[in-house]
Chain A
Amino acid sequence: MTTLIVLGTIIMVLFVAFVVLLSYLFTNKKIKLIQEKQLMKTQFEQELLQTQLEIQEQTLKTISEEIHDNVGQVLSLAKLNLNTFESNPEKKLTDTKELISKAINDLRDLSRSMHGDRIAELGLQQSLADELQILQNSGEFETHLYITGEVYKLLPQQEMVIFRIVQEALNNAIKHAKAKNISLQVNYQPEKFTLIVSDDGAGFDTAAMQKKNGIGLKSMQNRAQLIAATCTLQSFPDKGTSINIELPNP
């Protein structure tokens, strides 16, 4: 009896030792995992902050370029007309009025396309249509908007980010690719939302661009990451460019 009880006690103590050891190993592993998760979260937050700063910088740059290249030029021309007003007053006055009207329209378009509330108000579909219409109105581009699938509403933040990516892509198509035809294909599927921006512009070697670490593409990809979407690019020299935005589980 004594031996049995002593043996039982020893077994119980050994069992406790085993349980404590297991609990130690298990809890330590868990703590390690939590610390790793925390580290990843901090890194992600830092990246997110960095991305937000880059996006802000990019937006300001776009506004600055738009004012300088477009509105600034038109107003300079208007000033020139006014300076040489005496030579042909009537024509100069008409031209100046037209130029100022154009500047006002351009500023309005810029303001509309930059204003986030307006995108939320109009919805993604209408905002995209308006953006293409502005290009179409310039007379230099042929634009197309294709919508397939049953249209549903995305979250306001998702719509805003997608719209900004499209703006960036359109900007690239106009400025760098010198495209003539630009099309947007929007596909509303139950399991994912896809949007393809394609143009027939100059195109480029994507591998070479990646080596150069193209900021425009990086900025689009960073924006896409903000809403857990992906942004991929396909381009070949002289064969145009297409940018594919994919948002799973919208």
Chain B
Amino acid sequence: MFPLPPFYYFEIGALIISVAVLYRFEKKPLRWFIPFLLLMVSVELTARYHRRVLHELNTWLYNISIPVEYLFYGFMIGSLCLTASFKKVIFYSTFILGLWVLINLLFIQGFTTLNTHTLKLGCSLMILFSAIGLVDLFKNDEHKTLLLNPLFWICTGILFFNTGEFLYLFFFDTFLQNGWDKTAKVFASINNKLIYVLYSCISIAIICSKRSEKRV
């Protein structure tokens, strides 16, 4: 179980920052980062415990937590966007993704097999949502200084993370069929580094949100 790989500390760090900064925060959507990050840290630690201590498969845990992650990011970007049509697109797509997750879990790929269909769809939607978020930043004059804008940092983090995952996820089935362990290792390394980027961006977004609130 221990020592934990560095990306865990990035996640735990983001959780601590969110609790410290957002505990008495007035802007409601951002406050949801506290339970979300708590859930993510718990899932990662539980998954590691299952794998390393109990020597059990943890696929079922990721089949639940990764879709929650997608749905949360969809909700967060949709809430922070200012353009009504963008909000609609994101919320409807997130809802459809939620339905798909349930259908896939219950009727297609199940709990024990990694839900690759969901991952592909979710990853594509995350890239789309973060692109929409960035376009919303272009479009709306109400957004103030960009570096203090949580939407900018959240979209940047999600965009980097999911772009890095994109090709890996789309060729995942091929990797499994051909037993390319080396490729999986390379991608695990890329994925870990992208987790640093994602959680750093989330931490910055949380800190910025406090600063921007103070400015207001």
Contact = CB atoms under 8 A, between A and B. Distances in A.
Interface in A191-248: none
B26 interface: no
B159 to A, nearest CB: 5
A8 B167 contact: yes
B180 interface: yes
Interface residues of A, number: 21
A2 B163 contact: no
Nearest to A24: B146
B186 A20 contact: no
A16 B159 contact: yes
Contact of A20 (B138, B156, B167): B156
A6 B175 CA distance: 13
B138 A12 contact: no
Given A23-B134, A27-B146, A17 B160 contact: yes
Contacts of B187: 6, 9
A contact patch SS? helix
B168 A5 contact: yes
B160 A27 contact: no
A31 B180 CA distance: 48
B contact patch SS? helix
A9 B138 contact: no
Interface string B108-140: 000000000000000000000000001001100
B167 A5 contact: yes
B166 A9 contact: yes
Contact of B182 (A2, A12, A24, A31): A2
A190 to B, nearest CB: 36
Contacts of A9: 163-164, 166-168, 187, 190
Given A20-B134, A23-B134, A34-B141, A13 B167 contact: no
B144 interface: yes
Nearest to B191: A9
B145 A2 contact: no
7 contacts: A5-B183, A6-B190, A9-B163, A12-B166, A13-B160, A20-B156, A27-B138
Given A6-B187, A16-B159, A30-B138, 17 more contacts: A2-B186, A5-B168, A6-B183, A8-B167, A9-B190, A13-B194, A15-B163, A17-B160, A19-B134, A19-B159, A20-B134, A23-B137, A24-B146, A24-B152, A27-B138, A31-B141, A31-B146
